[in-house]
Amino acid sequence: MITRVQGGQIVYGGPPRASDLWIEDERILSVGEGPATCDRLIAAEGCYVFPGGIDPHVHLGFVVGEFASTDTFESGSMAAAFGGLTTLIDFAVPEEGENTAEAVRRRIAEGLGHCHVDFGIHAVVNRVHDHLQAEMRECLEMGVPDFKAFTTYEGLRLSWEDLGRLLSLTAEVEGLVLVHAEDDAAIASLVEKLVAEGQLDPSSHYLSRTATVEAQAVRETLSRQEATSCPLHFVHISAGESAHLIREAKRQGRSVSAETCPHYLFRTHDVYQGSEAALYMVSPPVKTAEDQQALWESLESRDLGMIATDHCPFSRSQKSRYDDFRLIPTGLPGVETTLPMMYSAWQTRGWPLQTLTECLSTNAARRFGLFPTKGALLAGSDADLVIYDPSASRTLTVEGLHMNVDWSPFIGETIQGAIRHVLLRGSTLILDGTWKGAEAGGRFIRRAPLSSPTNTNRPSETR
């Protein structure tokens, strides 16, 4: 089937330009000239045409202790489509008795038949042992070329020595390491002090995980990486000092990338005061206005190249179950609100829309082995499109969201523009703002390692 997207402004590879876009079945056929006739016409006059968004950091159906995040693969992926996201990358955390490869295999099976958009998986490594590299090679064979390490959290945390070993092992298999960087020893010391003083409210979460706590872990991780030359990606950077350290590493020509999240860009630590403070519990916590400004500057300089959501929502009742900050589940919703919030901010700042495309799609595709199948508006790329109407305006309300939430950090915000249509591999998920997707047809996308010559070819797919 031939589809013509007519009259839109293409936002890819430079300033927006007026051009038609042609689709044949699941892939982009051409941008500009096309066949004399088409089977389907999609009007995009007055709208921008973006490549489908890629969120490289989500937690759908995430269980921690007695709590489960409120969005499943099904509900979270539908909400993601309403937010202009057509590809998500979740995580496989080994359960008791599972190894890393088994966790990946299980997580893929959990997503298939339940995800409305395409998805990938990051492998979480919570233990370094003699057989780990063999498990890592299994993951690569399954299309999972990256491995996440935590420097905090009991049951997940790797020692600094083990993180160094993981970096070495990953370099040997030509993979990528993702790191949640917060210094566990510093957190433990601060928590002990706060608890001894009787400070148990949510503000103590912020006080125990300061910008220094994050920056110390970023610095130590970079020192371990220097000896291995392993490609490295920092997740959810929240502090200005951390961004500075990453910038210096990149200036040295090292293979380092990083993401930040909308809650760090639009909120400050003031949220940890008042009756709704528990809602904003997230790790790392939201920081100061100075940190926020530094993050914006790092986005402008492209030292922070991605905006991810770390989507892991919990309800008001879950967040309010305990008064002790150590027991409150941490995580925030975001898959549906990121593109509208970021588009509005880009317009306010007068930044070129091409850099928004890079931050929300192309850079993640390149770093995580999806490009140019995803993150591009090129002949042969998947026909993942977002048609965005800049003339619309609305105020965000809970009732208007499709995430399985009863709150959001951005309720009450007025946003510019609205998502009109969303296509996944040529199939319509959203038409004129209305859901048109049928069964959950998202595919697991096998990703290639960064160093692989096939990284720029078309990854194979699994239904």
* Predicted local distance difference test score (pLDDT) of residue 450: 77
| Range with the poorest average pLDDT among 342-346, 379-383, 436-440 | 436-440
Tens of pLDDT, residue by residue over 418-443, are 999 999 999 999 999 999 998 899 99
- Would you say residue 28 lies in a domain? yes
**Quick one: residue 343, left, alpha or beta (phi over 0 = left, psi -120 to 50 = alpha)?**
alpha
Tens of pLDDT, residue by residue over 298-341, are 999 999 999 999 999 999 999 999 999 999 999 999 999 999 99
Residue 156 and residue 116 share a domain: yes
Residue 75 and residue 27 share a domain: no
- Would you say residue 374 lies in a domain? no
pLDDT bucket at 64, cuts 50 / 70 / 90: confident
- Would you say residue 376 lies in a domain? no
pLDDT bucket at 462, cuts 50 / 70 / 90: very low
* Predicted local distance difference test score (pLDDT) of residue 455: 45
Question: For residues 227 and 114, what is the distance between their CA atoms, to the nearest angstrom?
Answer: 41
Among 74, 12, 1, 178, which residue's Cα sits nearest to residue 402? 74
Asked if the model's pLDDT at residue 408 lies above 70, the reply is: yes
Residue 152 and residue 59 share a domain: yes
* Predicted local distance difference test score (pLDDT) of residue 451: 59
For residues 108-125, average pLDDT: 98
Q: Which residues of 280-306 are buried (b: 16+ CB within 10 A; e: fewer)?
A: bbbbbbbbbeebbebbbebbeeebbbb
Domain range enclosing 43: 2-50+381-462
Q: Which residues of 243-266 are buried (b: 16+ CB within 10 A; e: fewer)?
A: bbbbbebbeeebbbbbbbbbbbbb
Residue 278 and residue 392 share a domain: no
Into how many domains does the chain fold?
A: 2
Residues whose CB falls within 8 Å of the CB of residue 25, separated by 6 or more in sequence, listed in order: 1, 426
Asked if the model's pLDDT at residue 184 lies above 60, the reply is: yes
* Predicted local distance difference test score (pLDDT) of residue 174: 95
For residues 105-117, average pLDDT: 98
- Look at residues 314, 337, 367 and tell me which one is the last residue of a structural domain: 367
Q: Which residues of 15-54 are buried (b: 16+ CB within 10 A; e: fewer)?
A: ebeebbbbbbeebbbbbeebeeebeeebebeebbbbbbbb
Query: Which residue type is seen at 424?
Result: L
Residue 428 and residue 344 share a domain: no
Residue 98 and residue 142 share a domain: yes
**Quick one: residue 381, left, alpha or beta (phi over 0 = left, psi -120 to 50 = alpha)?**
beta
Residue 414 and residue 298 share a domain: no
Q: CB–CB of 104/133 below 8 Å? A: no
> What value does the mean pLDDT of the chain take?
95
Residue 275 and residue 320 share a domain: yes
Tens of pLDDT, residue by residue over 389-403, are 999 999 999 999 999
pLDDT bucket at 65, cuts 50 / 70 / 90: confident
- Look at residues 367, 394, 422 and tell me which one is the last residue of a structural domain: 367
Q: CB–CB of 272/210 below 8 Å? A: no
Tokens matching residue 262 = 């909308």
- Look at residues 324, 344, 367 and tell me which one is the last residue of a structural domain: 367
* Predicted local distance difference test score (pLDDT) of residue 456: 42
CATH code of the domain covering residue 239: 3.20.20.140
- Would you say residue 165 lies in a domain? yes
- Would you say residue 115 lies in a domain? yes
Question: For residues 79 and 51, what is the distance between their CA atoms, to the nearest angstrom?
Answer: 17
